[in-house]
Chain A
Amino acid sequence: MLLKIAWRNVWRNRLRSLVVITAVAIGVAALLLIIAYFQGFVGTYVNSVIHKELSHLQIHPKAFLRDREAQYFIPQSDALTEKWIATFKDETTGEPLIKAISARSQAQGMIVSPKASRAVQVYGVKPRQEKAVISWQNMLKEGVWFGESQKKHPIIISKKMAGRLQVKLNKKVVLNLVSAKGEVVSGAFRIIGLFESHSSKRDEVQVLIQQKDLNELLELPPKAAHEIAILLQKPGALEKIAESLKKQYPDWSIQNYKELAPEIQLFDSQMLLMLGILIGIVMLALIFSIVNTMLMAVLERYRELGMLMAIGMNRLKIFGMIVWETLILGTAGAPIGMLLTYLAMQQLGTKGLDLSAFSKGLRAWGFDTRIIFSLNPSWYWKIALTMMLTALLAALYPAWKAIRFKPVEAINKR
């Protein structure tokens, strides 16, 4: 009954109510979309980091992490990877938990072309395994992957590096490295492919050659590796596998992508903090609108309210009526805002937002230029609830004002 009266009262001044409802709708939609943007941003980033750079787990001999010398390697990396894929299985389904493993050898050195030279990080990879762990097929822009070319001693470099070295596909470059025995060695390689990743910083230093070629240069056994990267089927198995490996191989450092890229944790916590502040600010701004409107609505009806109290409507009911009115005013806009968000997400959640105008700046920090918005459905309810609480808070002052009228004075006041 009270609700019905409250509803009708809201619409007595249609334009004024519509203004507040629109403000709420816009506020809610804006908040949800900003949340979706940031979730999408972080999600895309984490995904990129895992599938294009770090994988879920990385294993290095502790001595190698400390000194980066070729002599600290993992022997028989082949046998190990096969063993791990076979051992780590889901307890219920029996499915392997590990999707793919890539064992790589690594060295620092110089790449030299006829016109220029550059400092580089050289990765010796096994073609099939590497491609299964890191999505090179997406990043390879020109040329072919290892195994598809007949050239001896192939090398794949980034387009940026090719530009700096002033070389093209099929040209030769020379790599200068320091071997396991501490001697400077060099080898000639032919460029068979050019890649472009999401991080221009990485592109500037990373080059790929075949593991057997690198190990030969470094004078290491052919299956030696300095780094093993593991890609899981599902991220949930991460802790278990990491723990098990740490126990089995105490001399090796086992790190997950969050430890290797600590900025991911920063994103998460910063994002929550910022969203919290943003929600607070938007709600605060909306409170002003609601209070202002409701206050006017109450004060201009002082005669009517006085009359109601005079004929016996108890003050609690009056308070309740005003609170209902405020709730309606405050929350009517929320579903509209959510609908707007839903519609916008159809486009933004699938095709995403193209920020290629800022591509240089984004890639310098390792961010993708296309952000796919992602919104956890629980946010819809969280925001709706927050809106309701905000409206309730906004109701207090006007409702209190409403019950303070002295009926006799109110009726008689001019």
Chain B
Amino acid sequence: MKKQKRTTEPPFLPLLAWRNIWRNKRRTLITLLSVFMAVLLSSLMISIQQGAWNAMIANLLNTYTGYIQIHRKGYNDNPSVNLSFQASQELIRKIESHPKVQIALPRLESFALASTENLSRGVLVLGINPEAENAITNLTARISKGKYFAEGEKSALLSDSLAAHLQLQPGDTIVLLSQGYHGMSAAGKYSIAGLVHFPSPDINRNLVLLPLKTAQEFYGTGNRITSLALFLDSDSDVEKTAKTLQNQVDTSQYEVLSWTQTMPELVQARDVDTAGAILMLAVLYVIVSFGIFGTLIMMVRERIYEMGVLIAIGMKRYLLGIMFWLEITFIGLLGAILGMIASFPVVYYFHQHPINMTQLSSDATAIYERFGFEPIFPASMDPNIFVQQALFIFLITSIMALYPFWTLKKLKVMEAMKS
């Protein structure tokens, strides 16, 4: 017998699926609500978690370490003034010609013993180019007392916790002792020009800033520096930029490292925290998935008669399967989209007005300080966060759709029509 030619249009499945969902309003709404709740909570939690870390890292990169650093080869593993180098004009020009690089700041960094009459403390000494640094990191805005310094002056800026500990004020004198280039003794007396506040409590405890030439004189390094700190125009493509620059410099002499390479512990700490957050979300999604699956089972079971009839009059089983997939996916995505929409105002609010833990609890400040974390949490507006939730739901519903396909495959039309 010849196969009969199709004389009617195949059904428009999405419309059918949409209508079918609303045949049982209550059940659809309850399932929607559960997805909505899960997506809302997840979006909130992840945006705050990501936002807090991004803020902390951005702070550190923009006000202190820079995004990429260039050192003499081997410096990162064994930092020492003996691995200092002369940054030729050519090198700097080559680096700054990269479109993403705003500026390369020269720095001399090492340790010293800082002493006053009665107190002493180990400190980190950072020699900087006063004007260039200020132009990028806006250092002068963070001066809490006193004033800024100029290149070549025998004056120092102290981080304010350090100054408090050593009981120093602007105008006092501080003595620095250390070991300089090739082992020569480094000793110097400097007057304190001002005190600076750094948002990171760790940095705030131990930093002494000197004008670059003054630092070079102290350590006896001549016009050598220990690092070039590169500031990029944005925090995207940092790794790519680092790789490109790596290819452009003489790698037998220099190393070009992004912040993820100079501070891997920061990357790992963020990863651990993120892993924990994701784990909790996973638990939530697993439970919600069971709820969706339950709904799917009910949807299929109660329409066995209907499916039997449809198949009997000629509808292809796989088309029915697709319709069920569409139904469950619509419910999932609708819940997800509503959840995302509902989370926007809250996320936006916390983006503009970061959660300040110090206001919520006064112990929190001291405690976050011990961990070097500024207790201010803005929420991240990264659209990826929201899109990921929706994709996840989509994935879950698509996997679940296998159940109706399997049921349909096994369906015996005559039995179905008898139920």
Contacts and interface: CB of A to CB of B under 8 A. Distances in A.
Interface of A: 13, 15-16, 19-20, 22-23, 26-27, 30-31, 34, 67-69, 108-110, 112, 114-121, 163-164, 166, 176, 178, 182, 184, 200, 205, 261-263, 265-266, 278, 281-282, 284-286, 288-289, 291-293, 295-296, 300, 355, 358-365
Contacts of B78: 115-116, 163-164, 166
Interface stretch (B130-138, B139-147, B305-313, B361-369): B361-369
A73 B29 CA distance: 72
Contact of B268 (A116, A182, A361): A361
B297 to A, nearest CB: 6
Interface stretch (B117-125, B192-200, B389-397): B117-125
Contact of B290 (A22, A114, A178): A22
Given A27-B287, A289-B290, 14 more contacts: A16-B301, A19-B290, A23-B290, A30-B283, A34-B280, A116-B79, A117-B110, A119-B206, A164-B78, A182-B118, A261-B370, A355-B272, A359-B268, A360-B265
A31 B280 CA distance: 9
A205 B118 contact: no
Contact of A358 (B31, B271, B298): B271
B297 A15 contact: yes
A265 B366 CA distance: 11
Interface string B284-315: 10111011011101100110000000000000
B17 interface: no
B270 A109 contact: no
Contacts of B371: 263, 365
B112 interface: yes
A390 to B, nearest CB: 12
B27 A361 contact: no
Contacts, number: 175
Interface stretch (B33-41, B90-98, B238-246, B411-419): B33-41
A12 B177 CA distance: 84
B contact residues, range: 35 or more
A230 B261 CA distance: 40
A360 B77 CA distance: 14
B20 interface: no
B111 A110 contact: yes
Interface in B66-85: 77-80, 82
Nearest to B285: A285
10 contacts: A30-B283, A109-B113, A119-B123, A265-B367, A293-B294, A359-B268, A360-B265, A361-B264, A361-B269, A364-B266
B272 A362 contact: yes
A254 B404 CA distance: 69
B286 A110 contact: no
B122 A205 contact: yes
B63 interface: no
A362 to B, nearest CB: 7
Contacts of A300: 302
Given A109-B120, A296-B27, A117 B179 contact: yes
A67 B122 CA distance: 15
A115 B297 contact: no
A176 B82 CA distance: 20
B183 interface: yes
A361 B267 contact: yes
B177 A176 contact: yes
B111 A281 contact: no
A26 B265 contact: no
Nearest to A355: B272
A15 B265 CA distance: 48
B49 interface: no
Q: Which of A178, A263, A359, A361 has the most CB of B within 10 A?
A: A361
Nearest to B34: A288
B289 to A, nearest CB: 8
A108 B122 contact: yes
Contacts of A166: 78, 80
B178 interface: yes
Contacts of A361: 264-272
A337 B296 CA distance: 24
Given A16-B298, A30-B283, A30-B286, A67 B119 contact: yes
Contacts of A13: 301
A54 to B, nearest CB: 12
B268 A282 contact: no
B272 A282 contact: no
B20 to A, nearest CB: 16
B278 interface: no
A280 B406 CA distance: 36
Given A108-B121, A119-B113, A23 B291 contact: yes
A115 B81 CA distance: 9
Nearest to A267: B367
Given A109-B120, A282-B283, A265 B294 contact: no
B118 A119 contact: no
A108 B123 CA distance: 11
Contacts of A117: 110-111, 178-179
B271 A67 contact: no
Given A281-B284, A285-B287, A182 B177 contact: no
A331 B36 CA distance: 25
Contacts of A112: 179
B26 interface: yes
Contact of A262 (B80, B291, B370): B370
Nearest to B267: A361
